[in-house]
Amino acid sequence: METVSTNHAFGGVQGVYRHASAATGTAMTFAVYVPPHAPGAKLPVVWYLSGLTCTHANATEKGEYRRAAAELGLIVVTPDTSPRGEGVPDDPDGAYDFGLGAGFYVDATEAPWATHYRMWSYITDELPALVAAHFPVDIARQSITGHSMGGHGALTIGLSFPDRYRAVSAFAPIVAPSQVPWGEKALGGYLGADRAAWRRHDAVALIEDGARVPALLVDQGEADQFLAGQLRPELLAAACEKAGIPLTLRMQSGYDHSYYFISTFMADHLAWHAKRLK
């Protein structure tokens, strides 16, 4: 693992790191904030998954999480959103919602994507092992959150591994990718035409199929330009109500899809996670 940079912040250290990923077959970059802590202490970790077009840097530079993480004693890990580098295929039309920056947190099965686009394995297996080996992480105390495509990833991963992640939340998530254009393009492209294979990567479908978590927290801006066409939080609300999953869905007046929105409510989410990670 190569250290790209480290900076002190709120008594802790914000680092950016690079390593050769076996899952993606590429170099991958990720960021970790470690708050101030006693020598030898093991700390809970919050995984933050970013959205379309993002890298680790979007949340690291604009998420405004370090003060709250330092106060709450939380490690925050912010991975990249897709493999990158020479030989990694991209959307042939250069679209932002597929290919580079748009891995959708799945293991692709379709050519040419299957060789490198294995973000599910990277996020759920390889990177957690790497982080646990190099940082003071208490692996029994993990939680996950994310934004937009990353909110989709947080929900699907959290629902798939309820014994691993003690808390799951999201900012403006794509809750039912099988039912919206972003998701239909991505899941169809990466996983093929069989919609049955999409269900394990669709939060609403996972809940319909029996996946459960103790509770969910979702913040959604009412002025989000993608609200009606791509995000559809009402579908998650209906699924949770039917399944008996306590969902706190906060519709935030005036807020859009940007990091102005995310940074405003980041401390709330970290506090919500910290309470469940004690």
Enumerate the active-site residues.
148, 224, 257
Residue 169 near residue 100, CB atoms below 8 Å: no
Residue 145 near residue 107, CB atoms below 8 Å: no
Which residues, other chains included, contact 143 with Cβ-Cβ below 8 Å and sequence gap of 6+? Answer: 44, 45, 46, 47, 165, 166, 167, 168, 169, 273, 276, 277
Tell me, what DSSP letter sits at residue 26?
S
Residue 240 token pair: 């949770």
Could you identify the residue written with the tokens 């949340």? 59
Could you identify the residue written with the tokens 């748009």? 102
What is the distance of C-alpha 29 from the center of its chain? 15
Q: How many CB atoms lie within 10 A of CB 278?
A: 9
Residue 273 near residue 143, CB atoms below 8 Å: yes
